[in-house]
Amino acid sequence: MRVVVAMSGGVDSSMAAARIVDEGHDVVGITMRLYDASEDERRGRGGSCCSPAEVDMARRACGVLGIPHYSVDEREHFEAEVIDPFVRDYVAGRTPNPCTRCNQHIKFGPLLTRAQALGADVLVTGHYARIEDGALLRGVDPRKDQSYFLFAMGKDALSQVRFPLGGMTKDEVREQAERLGLPNAQAPDSQELCFVPGGDHGVVVERRAAALGLSTDALAPGPVVDGRGQEIGEHQGIHRVTVGQRRGMQIRGTDKRYVLRVIPESRTVVVGSAEQATARRLYVEELQDLALPPVGGSMRAAVQWRHRSAPAPATVSIEADRAVVEFDEPVGAAACGQAAVIYDGDRVCGGGWIAATE
Amino acid sequence: MIDLDHNATTPLDPRVRASMGELLAREDLGNPSSQHGRGRQAREVVEAARRRVAQAVEAEPLGVTFTSGGTEANNLAILGVARALAKAGRPHGVLTSALEHPSVAAAIDVLAAEGHPVKRIEVDAQGRIDPDMVAARLGAEPRLGIVSLAAANHELGNAYDIAAIARAAREASPQVRVHCDAVQAVGKLPVSFRGWGVDLLSISAHKLGGPAGAGALVHDRGLKLQALRHGGAQERGRRPGTEATLLVHGFGHAISLAASEQPARHANMAARRSRLVRGLQALGARIHGDPDHHTGNTVNVGFEGTEGELVMMNLDLAGIAVSTGAACSAGLPEPSPVLLALGQSVPLAREAVRMSLSPNTSDADIDAVLTALAEALPRIRKAGTAVRSAS
């Protein structure tokens, strides 16, 4: 069986390749170039997943494993499907989730297609998640589980994709990579978005919004107001503010204030107390159905509304073009633009994008 | 493995490997610049190679400057001569085309940045160059002191009538220096420094069965140029640095074989190429370049709706080496500047695949490539459609 492995240059995808090679398949490594990192690398901000140095790392790992390696250009798709929506979300006062969009629109879109164009039966990635009997499950390492980012991978992809690391912990991955002599066995985990190598996403949003011809009014500093509309401070642009956050603004007073809402039209950020910063209900759109009840049905579920949140018990009702998530207890920091992922135990049943909260 | 990427590099000719092995076993060779016996022995190896190179391209040994390869020869010709002309107060602009190899194009970019005038001659949709146009441009632009055009295009395999171009150039501008990048021509086409009437000719060993790391700039014995390196009088000061005796020896042997076997090699390759072209056309391919004047070994082809990269990868996985001809900028594939210069759109240019044959390519090789393509193209096309509809 021919298998294409999506290789970022990091240890996880290299180890995923190693495990598939070990099974005796005809394995091909592919690294996607997602944006032109050469400028960043010249300025010493390299190390992001599509820089020439990382492509080289993937190539070296493939050399150790004795498999062919190619790099492919996905810059246009990535810009159109990931970076630009990311920028539009921030300009509109939402908090985007580019990693999920990349999985949905790049890895399990054009990359999967390319794998098929190379005659591959299966695409492998280094995600920490499991696919068992057609069900998408959490990875066994709770610190690394990436199932949250995979809810939109699509039902069809479940039969065309494998995640060899889903049953492993990160420590086991590093240990095995070390034993195999993979060059990136001890490479640090990437913590930032690959197309924001300096860690300052605000600059990317400002530059790209202007290039897209979007109004950049909302990106200027603006007022921070309390629940009564009283101005109590200033923020540095709504794209630097996320619902639930309490740092990064100049606010008078000593009370802990959390961002409740972002109003792009007036560039206003509304803050309030921790109690006020909670939501009991989420309206979730662009539903992805892996194992959801039919329209009109409902289910008891554990819903995760951001990457690092613990799943919270809720009742999920499926409507014609959206789902309503009713939490048993109010949850904090639910931001529009983030993904709400619906779990039944370890199983991802589906999810969508938070369009409104109450 | 089937290698249809001989324009990238050729395997070392076994006869050359044998003679290089013999040289490698010798223990009596010193530094060719040394006065003592060991030095003289090495010097004789280098000079014998120089005579072979000169003879192969119909030049004189005193007009052969060894370099590390084609890139250095092209750089030295263009930068070295233009800078020397500028210093002498003579016209030092360059007339070139948009089809040239990066080692020519990038050197000319350096000159442009230094303030040398640079003009590019028009080419037609097949990449042909009209000698009268060269004359017209030189006549209209007195600041031009150098013409730099390749004898054979690295991506298309187009062959150019360099003798006619040089003649037209001199009629328009008697003092003009004509540089010809002949890296892709030697061994495939008859190459004659004297017969063509050029001033500068670049050659590379590893494109004609010799080792990578050796090449030569061929010129008149009195050529004045500014060296690119400093620190020695080797190669009459034109290219300081201890000569690579072993590589130069292999180069000399390989080029003498390439020159003497050129007619037979060309005939062999051209026959296989015709078979390949017929098969490709049956698969619905578009063939790029000049159909009438070519090296006989290169086919530049595009399949509608299929990325060249995917064709290359599919063939590689089937054990067949071809190239896309895409230039690599910071590791990112950019559409071939050669195809863009022919007026092709970016999507069409991204479909291009270059197949380049060797004299040893067999009919069976060609048939295997065609079979692999027939198998790969439908699945690539299917994927190509899906990729487009996803965006």
Instruction: Enumerate the residues of chain B whose CB falls inside 8 A of the CB of residue A114.
Output: 310, 383, 387
Alpha helices in A181-329 (DSSP H): 201-211
* A contact test, residue of B311, B312, B317, B324 with most A CBs within 10 A: B317
The Cα–Cα gap between B323 and B313 comes to 9
User: Is A73 in CB contact (< 8 Å) with chain B?
Assistant: yes
pLDDT in tens, A131-173: 999 999 999 999 999 999 999 999 999 999 999 999 999 999 9
pLDDT at A47 over 80: no
Task: Examine the residue annotation and report whether A194 is marked as an active-site residue of this protein.
Answer: yes
- pLDDT recorded at residue B332: 66
SS (H, E, C) chain B: CEECECCCCCCCCHHHHHHHHHHHHCCCCCCCCCCCHHHHHHHHHHHHHHHHHHHHCCCCHHHEEEECCHHHHHHHHHHHHHHHHHHCCCCCEEEEECCCCHHHHHHHHHHHHCCCCEEEECCCCCCCCCHHHHHHHHHHCCCEEEEEEECECCCCCEECCHHHHHHHHHHHCCCCEEEEECCCCECCECCCHHHHCCCEEEEEHHHCCCCCCCEEEEECCCCCCCCCCCCCCHHHHCCCCCCCHHHHHHHHHHHHHHHHCHHHHHHHHHHHHHHHHHHHHHCCCEEECCCCCECCCEEEEECCCCCHHHHHHHHHHCCEECECCCEEECCEEECCHHHHHCCCCHHHHCCEEEEECCCCCCHHHHHHHHHHHHHHHHHHHHHHHHHHHHC
Instruction: Enumerate the residues of chain A whose CB falls inside 8 A of the CB of residue B376.
Output: 119
Q: Work out the minimum CA distance from A24 to partner chain B, whole angstroms.
A: 16
Say how far residue A114 (Cα) sits from the centre of its chain.
22
Decide: B74 and B104 in contact? Cβ < 8 Å.
yes
The pair of structure tokens assigned to A186 is 């001890």
Specify the 3-state DSSP secondary structure of A88: helix
Q: What is the DSSP string of A200-219?
A: -HHHHHHHHHHHTT---GGG
Which residues lie closer than 8 Å to B181 by C-beta, 6 or more apart?
B70, B74, B100, B101, B103, B104, B148, B149, B150, B151, B202
Decide: A283 and A357 in contact? Cβ < 8 Å.
yes
Task: Examine the residue annotation and report whether A102 is marked as an active-site residue of this protein.
Answer: yes
Q: Work out the minimum CA distance from A121 to partner chain B, whole angstroms.
A: 12
Instruction: Enumerate the residues of chain A whose CB falls inside 8 A of the CB of residue B316.
Output: 68, 70
Instruction: Enumerate the residues of chain B whose CB falls inside 8 A of the CB of residue A55.
Output: 331
Instruction: Enumerate the residues of chain A whose CB falls inside 8 A of the CB of residue B390.
Output: 77, 105, 109-110, 113
Asked if A117 and B310 come within 8 Å (Cβ–Cβ), the reply is: yes
- Minimal Cα distance from A70: which residue of B? B313
Tokens 């164009």 found at: A117
Decide: A347 and A137 in contact? Cβ < 8 Å.
yes
Asked if B314 and A117 come within 8 Å (Cβ–Cβ), the reply is: yes
CA-nearest of B210, B217, B147, B214 to B182 is B217
Instruction: Enumerate the residues of chain A whose CB falls inside 8 A of the CB of residue B379.
Output: 116-117, 119
Which residues lie closer than 8 Å to B253 by C-beta, 6 or more apart?
B13, B15, B16, B19, B20, B49, B52, B210
**Catalytic residue set of B:** 328
Pairing status of strand A312-318 against strand A322-332: antiparallel
- pLDDT recorded at residue B388: 45
- pLDDT recorded at residue A177: 95
Specify the 3-state DSSP secondary structure of A258: strand
User: Is A176 in CB contact (< 8 Å) with chain B?
Assistant: no
- pLDDT recorded at residue B389: 43
Specify the 3-state DSSP secondary structure of A255: coil
User: Is A53 in CB contact (< 8 Å) with chain B?
Assistant: no
Specify the 3-state DSSP secondary structure of A172: helix
Asked if B310 and A114 come within 8 Å (Cβ–Cβ), the reply is: yes
The Cα–Cα gap between B293 and A78 comes to 42
Which residues lie closer than 8 Å to B249 by C-beta, 6 or more apart?
B19, B20, B23, B45, B46, B48, B49
Asked if A117 and B391 come within 8 Å (Cβ–Cβ), the reply is: no
The Cα–Cα gap between B246 and B42 comes to 9
- Give the nearest partner residue to B314 out of A81, A109, A118, using CB atoms: A118
Instruction: Residue count of chain B, please give it.
Output: 391
Q: Work out the minimum CA distance from B312 to partner chain A, whole angstroms.
A: 10
- pLDDT recorded at residue A255: 75
Q: Work out the minimum CA distance from B371 to partner chain A, whole angstroms.
A: 15
- pLDDT recorded at residue B94: 98
pLDDT at A193 over 90: no
Asked if A114 and B376 come within 8 Å (Cβ–Cβ), the reply is: no
The winner for highest mean pLDDT among A30-39, A247-256, A333-342, B362-371 is B362-371
- Measured in degrees and rounded to the nearest 5, phi and psi for residue A263 equal -115, 100
- Those residues of chain B whose CB sits closer than 8 Å to some CB in chain A are 309-310, 313-314, 316-317, 330-333, 376, 379-380, 382-384, 386-387, 390-391
Alpha helices in chain A (DSSP H): 11-22, 38-42, 52-65, 75-78, 84-91, 98-102, 112-117, 155-158, 170-180, 201-211
Decide: B190 and B262 in contact? Cβ < 8 Å.
yes
Confidence of residue A49 (pLDDT cuts 50, 70, 90): low
Work out how many CB contacts closer than 8 A connect A with B. Answer: 62
Per-block mean pLDDT, blocks of 10 residues, chain B (391 long):
96 98 97 96 98 98 98 98 97 97 96 97 97 97 97 97 98 96 98 98 98 98 93 93 97 98 97 98 96 97 92 96 74 83 93 96 98 95 60 37
Give the CA count within 13 Å in the CB-facing half-sphere of B327: 17
- pLDDT recorded at residue B390: 41
Of the residues A62, A99, A194, A349, which is catalytic?
A194
Asked if B317 and A68 come within 8 Å (Cβ–Cβ), the reply is: yes
Instruction: Enumerate the residues of chain A whose CB falls inside 8 A of the CB of residue B391.
Output: 76-77, 80-81, 110
Residue B42 Cα distances to B32, B49, B254, B309, angstroms: 5, 11, 18, 45
The pair of structure tokens assigned to B201 is 């000719």
Say how far residue B240 (Cα) sits from the centre of its chain.
23
Instruction: Enumerate the residues of chain A whose CB falls inside 8 A of the CB of residue B382.
Output: 116-117
User: Is A69 in CB contact (< 8 Å) with chain B?
Assistant: no
